[in-house]
Amino acid sequence: MRVIDRPTEDLDGQTRRPSPWSREGLVPNPPEEASPADDEAGRRGHRHVAERRRNGAVSMLRETVIILVSALVLSLVVKTFLIQAFFIPSPSMHDTLVEDDRILVSKLTPGPFDLRRGDIVVFKDPGGWLNGAAEPELTGVNKAVREVLTFIGLYPQDAGEHLVKRVIGLPGDRVVCDKACQEQGGPITVNGVPLDEPYIAPGARPSEVPFDVVVPADSLWVMGDNRQRSFDSRYNMGKPGGGSVPVANVVGTAFVTVWPLDRAGLLRNPSATFEDVPDAS
């Protein structure tokens, strides 16, 4: 009997074709050798990536410089025209302001806005008020904060030459504490109207020093809230200006306490205290 060699058939009658793959398994094609053209293309790609990285670094550096310069310019504008920071070194404004409080001062007053009785103002020493008193030396965090604020222009280099007090009399006002006021512990009068001063420190009297002054033109009569611990207009009546502060010396009005956080808050004008005081005649 002869056996005919022919392709085997599946059970469904279809012809099974021999597999083109070897029985030992799949063998990958050998890698092709890179041509000189491929090497040059690769080098160009690497150069392009490196160039993009350099451009990105230059762009980031340029943007950083722009941001820093803009921040310094903005801080200079703010310091010059809008806001300046100060700290409180003495107890003269207790309990409204206490030692080491940080306040912000609006430089729009005096200027676009008028000064009002009751405003808390920061002003440069008119001459001899500080008597050469040295500013207390700071250490640690306080020193670091001061240096940062000074560097960015929000703290004045000459902060030790400034004082902070409350405006009691405007130009032309007559401010009086007579003998009865001195002996009875108040009240002070402005243009004949007695003042109820809720901002005075607990236990302090309106004034233990008698005075009767008419505030000169373009000047202010200022007093601390802690009257018995404040070297203010009352104690400088023998100096030029008769104890009054030239408006030109005023840096601005304090409007907020920013540090420490547990004392942060707005410094509001006690308008009710002065609402019945008439304008100077």
* 92 catalytic per annotation: yes
pLDDT band per the 50, 70, 90 thresholds, residue 1: very low
Q: Which is it for strands 83-87 and 102-106: parallel, antiparallel or unpaired?
A: antiparallel
* 107 catalytic per annotation: no
Longest dimension (CA), the chain: 153
**Per-residue pLDDT at 186:** 87
Round to whole Å and give the CA distance between 256 and 266.
4
Amino acid at 66: I
Average pLDDT of the residues in 223-230: 96
May I ask the CATH class of domain 76-129+141-274? Answer: mainly beta
Instruction: Pick the catalytic residue from 90, 92, 106, 219.
Output: 92
Is 24 a residue whose pLDDT tops 90? Answer: no
Instruction: Give yes or no for a contact between 259 and 149, defined as CB atoms under 8 angstroms apart.
Output: no
pLDDT band per the 50, 70, 90 thresholds, residue 111: confident
**What are the residue ranges spanned by the domains of the chain?**
76-129+141-274
Instruction: Pick the catalytic residue from 90, 106, 107, 165.
Output: 165
**Per-residue pLDDT at 10:** 46
Assessment of whether the complete model's pTM goes beyond 0.85: no
